[in-house]
Amino acid sequence: MTSKIAVIGTGYVGLTTGACFAHLGHDVVCADIVPEKVERLQAGDVPIHEAGLTELVREGIEAGRLQFVLGAENAVGAADFVYLCVPTPQSADGSADLSYLQSAAREISAHLQSGTVVVNKSTVPVGSTHLVEQAMNRADIPVVSNPEFLREGTAVDDFLNPDRVVIGADDQAAAGRVAALYLGVRAPIMVTDPASAETCKYAANAFLATKLSFTNAIAAVCEAVGADVNDVLLGMGYDHRIGHEFLRPGPGWGGSCFPKDSRAIISIAEDAGYDFALMRGVVAVNDEQFDRIVRKVGSVTPLDGATIGLLGLAFKAGTDDTRESPALEVARRMIAAGATVRGYDPAVKEVDVEGLQIVEDPYAACEGANALVIATEWDEFKWLDLDKIADSMAERHVIDARNLLDRGALRRRGFSYQGIGRS
């Protein structure tokens, strides 16, 4: 059954949600507050790097099922469902800033027809579904929580082939209507109360961040005892209760979700009177991981006055997003220690890090460098011409924070090599 859906906010989540619902056959109107963005999107020009998204946006526009308008009030009048996909950035105290969400709710309230279901997809603290209800002040409009579990780079695939769909509602009829939107999607659909749905999103991200900090901590243990982390993790992952996924050691975790949501769940717990010490440890291990990388570089060349080549700036491969990128955090700390850092990334051409020079190709980053750091796991770094790099560097040292390169091939060319959790 086709429904009319309005999506408020055209960031990663909103745009993916809108384009995917249009792909599933619904009529979708997406609203944003930036006129140039709306114009570009209506012309099929997608400003973010997301596999398959441009194709879906163009498909939707051509089929007449997807349009973009300026201002939320212009999107919601005829809608059966309104998806709120506005940002919930972190405030100074670590909690989520809900001002965008509340003002979007207030703005649309007078324009909704009776019976429209408002669905919140933004990541929000427990209780926010009720805050949206209060901001709208409309007893005839049910508000439902439907958290997203999208990864950047694979958001379209994650939306269309999810592990599960979680719906939190006090109004069971409204929950059933939201569930029906996903008829074309094969996945378990779980209906619960709003607080459980909201907590589920934070708990899932916090658990994944825990898994990653645990992995990086085990890598540190492996370094100390002379074990190989890759083999240790392989042996662990065969236990199906643990699994192989999300066990890659790295320079720490980053991105737009994990750091923000980890800090938020600590603050949510604190406000509710629980000291989430485990999660504080998870965040501390991550911060320590950035320093561990910097110390590895410092162990092969004194950082003060050194030139460091940095391959990778995005927070992970497959995206141009540098929000809370471990690569940039490592760069900042090396610059603070007196190093000159030259960075290259296939997708990132601009960053806001004082003193970080961006170069156009990976070889320019290596030229004259005292050490090379691999910070993002882009495939193309595996196929670099190592002879060319060896000839151009001032000293042959590689710190491979993603265990990506062929250490044997590097050592044969006279490089010192340090990965994560293996020698």
Contact between residue 126 and residue 199 where contact means Cβ atoms under 8 Å apart: yes
Tokens of 341: 């850092």
316 lies in the site for ligand UDX, by CB under 6 A? yes
Report the half-sphere exposure of 1 (CA within 13 A, side-chain side).
Answer: 7
Residues 6+ apart with CB under 8 A from 348: 313, 314, 320, 322, 358
Segment contacting ligand UDX by CB under 6 A, of 142-150, 182-190, 232-240, 363-371: 142-150
Binding pattern for the stretch 145-164 against ligand UDX, x by CB under 6 A and - elsewhere = ---xxxxx------------
Of 191, 246, 337, 395, which lies in the binding site for ligand UDX, with binding defined by CB under 6 A?
246
CB of 215 to ligand UDX, least distance (A): 7
381 lies in the site for ligand UDX, by CB under 6 A? no
CB of 348 to ligand UDX, least distance (A): 14
378 lies in the site for ligand UDX, by CB under 6 A? no
For residues 49 and 67, give the distance between their C-alpha atoms in angstroms, rounded to a whole number.
20
Catalytic residue among 85, 200, 257, 366: 257
CB of 394 to ligand UDX, least distance (A): 29
Residue 68 or 149 with smaller CB distance to ligand UDX = 149
Segment contacting ligand UDX by CB under 6 A, of 241-249, 305-313, 362-370, 411-419: 241-249
Residue 208 or 334 with smaller CB distance to ligand UDX = 208
Residues 6+ apart with CB under 8 A from 260: 89, 90, 96, 123, 324
Q: Is 406 helix (H, G, I), strand (E, B) or coil?
A: coil
247 lies in the site for ligand UDX, by CB under 6 A? yes
For residues 64 and 62, give the distance between their C-alpha atoms in angstroms, rounded to a whole number.
5
Residue 150 or 398 with smaller CB distance to ligand UDX = 150
Contact between residue 15 and residue 41 where contact means Cβ atoms under 8 Å apart: yes
356-358 β-sheet, strand order: 356-358, 340-344, 307-311, 371-374, 397-400, 416-418
Contact between residue 201 and residue 224 where contact means Cβ atoms under 8 Å apart: no
344 lies in the site for ligand UDX, by CB under 6 A? no
CB of 245 to ligand UDX, least distance (A): 7
Tokens of 100: 């965008």
CB of 63 to ligand UDX, least distance (A): 28
Question: Annotated catalytic, 257?
Answer: yes
Contact between residue 41 and residue 30 where contact means Cβ atoms under 8 Å apart: yes
405 lies in the site for ligand UDX, by CB under 6 A? no
**Which residues contribute to the site for ligand UDX (CB under 6 A)?**
148-152, 205, 208, 212, 246-248, 250, 253-258, 315-316, 326
Active-site residue set:
257
